[in-house]
């Protein structure tokens, strides 16, 4: 099953909780985005998990150091998944993964900024990581015109072929989903494509219907 992940980057905790409540019927994973956690603190993860215990809650910490310390903080708050950066040291990635194993939760390595995500995926897989994120940078989209194209799709396909769970993020919308038909991805992370719409719940419903059409369960 391909999962829909709602990325919430609001700086307002109440706004994020209200958004999660409206979109939860259609989302499989609720993400406390990095700006949200930085703005209101790790307690937002606790509130999301308390309000939606049946959902996967992801804390997008993007840890770059003291990985086990930060991961433990997020898991204590109820996170099911925590993220670390693919561009950080392998030692930090190992520490986050070790903490995830201890909690019987998951660590995700975010490949934003990684020059060769396939090679890095192989490296982190070798130390026990099973979940990675192919993340097209928002800043690169806005300043360099980075797009989802055949090269990006082929990279995701090759990462999936390694046997990893691969999630994708970065400017994904309804129209882009068709490009990924046939690629066995783990999850699709959408922020602005839902949160910036006039009716986020309706937008999420349309997207999850499209996901189920392209990737029947």
- Per-residue pLDDT tens over the stretch 74-129: 999 999 999 999 999 999 999 999 999 999 999 999 999 999 999 999 999 999 99
**Does residue 37 have a pLDDT over 90?**
yes
| Average model confidence (pLDDT) across the chain | 94
> Residue 45's pLDDT is what?
98
> Residue 90's pLDDT is what?
97
99-105 long-range contacts, CB within 8 A, separation 24+: 99/67, 99/68, 99/71, 99/72, 99/75, 100/71, 100/75, 101/128, 103/72, 103/75, 105/75, 105/79, 105/80, 105/81
> Residue 148's pLDDT is what?
82
Residue 26 DSSP label: T
Cα 130 from Cα 127, distance rounded (Å): 9
Among 50-54, 136-140, 148-152, 186-190, name the one with the lowest average pLDDT. 136-140
**Does residue 149 have a pLDDT over 90?**
no
Q: Which two tokens stand for residue 142?
A: 């806005």
Q: How far is CA 143 from CA 58, 116, 139, 140, 198, in A?
A: 28, 21, 6, 5, 25
Helix 90-103 vs helix 67-76: crossing angle, to nearest 10: 30
- Per-residue pLDDT tens over the stretch 151-174: 899 999 999 999 999 999 998 888
> Residue 187's pLDDT is what?
98
CATH of domain 3-214: 3.20.20.70
pTM above 0.85, yes or no: yes
> Residue 141's pLDDT is what?
58
Beta strand pairing call for 187-190 and 165-169: parallel
Q: What is the mean pLDDT of residues 6-32?
A: 98
């Amino acid at each position: 099953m391909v999962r829909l992940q709602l990325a919430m980057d609001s700086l307002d905790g109440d706004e994020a909780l209200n958004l999660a409540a409206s979109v939860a019927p259609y989302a499989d994973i609720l993400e406390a985005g990095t700006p949200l956690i930085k703005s209101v603190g790790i307690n937002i993860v606790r509130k999301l998990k308390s309000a939606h215990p049946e959902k996967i809650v992801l804390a997008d910490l993007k840890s770059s150091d003291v990985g086990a310390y930060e991961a433990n903080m997020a898991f204590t708050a109820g996170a099911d998944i925590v993220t670390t950066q693919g561009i950080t040291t392998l030692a930090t990635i190992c520490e986050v993964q070790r903490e995830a194993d201890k909690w019987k939760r998951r660590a995700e390595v975010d490949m934003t900024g990684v020059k060769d995500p396939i090679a890095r995926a192989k490296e982190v897989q070798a130390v026990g990581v099973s979940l990675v994120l192919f993340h097209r940078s928002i800043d690169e989209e806005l300043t360099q015109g980075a797009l989802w194209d055949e090269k990006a799709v082929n990279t995701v396909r090759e990462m999936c072929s390694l046997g990893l769970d691969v999630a994708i993020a970065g400017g994904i919308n309804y129209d882009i989903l068709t490009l990924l038909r046939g690629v066995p991805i783990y999850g699709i992370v959408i922020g602005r494509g839902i949160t910036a719409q006039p009716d986020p719940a309706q937008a999420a419903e349309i997207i999850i219907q499209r996901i189920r059409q392209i990737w029947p369960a």
